[in-house]
Structure 1
Amino acid sequence: MEQSEFLEKHIFKGLTNINDGFDSDDIQYFTEADFEIVLQRVEHFGISVYGIESWLNGEMFDVYSHDAYRKKATDPRWYNKAFSEFKKRQEGLAYAASYKVSKKFLERE
């Protein structure tokens, strides 16, 4: 199984991609409520999150990465804190992240 298939099946299932063309078609963006679910699912599977990108009204708002938090990409403390900081700074953001699914998960599927 490819990483994109795994993400579709286990992480993005039932959620709405709100990328209406403001970024590359292969990047999925979610509302705050849906992205919170994405992060819960990512934590459940132990998937790496390298960065979180936020957009407001079709314009790049900000990006946070695990390096800035000095945490491993699999550590949920960094991405949950970053998400919380985004929410405090601005309402109505669209969120995307860069993920890495381990080969172990991909081979099992």
Structure 2
Amino acid sequence: MDKAEFFDKNIFQNLKNLNTGFDSDSTQYFSEADFETVLERIENFGIGIYEIKPRLEEDFLEVKVNEDYRKKATDAKWYKRAFSDYKKQHANLKFSASYKVSDKLLNRQNSSDDEELSKK
């Protein structure tokens, strides 16, 4: 399983991608409520976030990165604080992020998928 498949199956499942062509097709944007769900799922899997990219209608806003907060990408404190800061500044933002996923996590997911298939 590659990173995109992992995210579609485990992180972005049942969430609406709001990217209507204003960014790369592979970049998914979410409403505030859906992005909050993304952050919860990311934290549960121990995935890191390098940067958060907000968008207000047609405008890209300032990107926040983990180094701005002097935290590791996997430290949930930084991205929760950044998300909170954005919400205080603007309403109705769309959010995207770049993620750090370990090969170990992807390999573990592949193993569990293989086990599921062998049980059938």
State TM-score, norm by structure 2: 0.89
Q: Distance in 2 between matches of 1:106 and 1:45?
A: 11
Once the 2 structures are TM-superposed, how far is the Cα of residue 61 of structure 1 from its aligned partner?
1.4
Residues 67-106 of structure 1 mapped to structure 2, 5 A cutoff: 67-106=67-106
The runs of 4+ residues in structure 1 deviating greater than 3 Å are none
Once the 2 structures are TM-superposed, how far is the Cα of residue 32 of structure 1 from its aligned partner?
0.1
How many residues align? The count is 109
Residues 12-51 of structure 1 mapped to structure 2, 5 A cutoff: 12-51=12-51
Q: Is the 8 A contact 1:3 1:100 kept in 2?
A: no
CA offsets per residue over residues 22-77 of structure 1, 9 Å max, x none? 11111000000000000000000000100000001121012100000000000000
Amino acid corresponding to residue 8 of structure 1 in structure 2: D
Tell me which of the two structures has the higher relative contact order, counting C-alpha pairs closer than 8 angstroms and 6 or more residues apart: 1
Structure with higher strand content: 1
Amino acid corresponding to residue 21 of structure 1 in structure 2: G
1:61 and 2:33 equivalent? Answer: no
Percent identity (aligned): 52
Which 5+ residue runs of structure 1 have no aligned equivalent? none
Larger radius of gyration: 2
Counterpart of 1:4?
4
- Further displaced range: 28-37 or 56-65: 56-65
Structure with higher helix content: 2
Secondary structure of 1:77's counterpart equals: helix
State TM-score, norm by structure 1: 0.98
Secondary structure of 2:42's counterpart equals: helix
Which 5+ residue runs of structure 2 have no aligned equivalent? 111-120
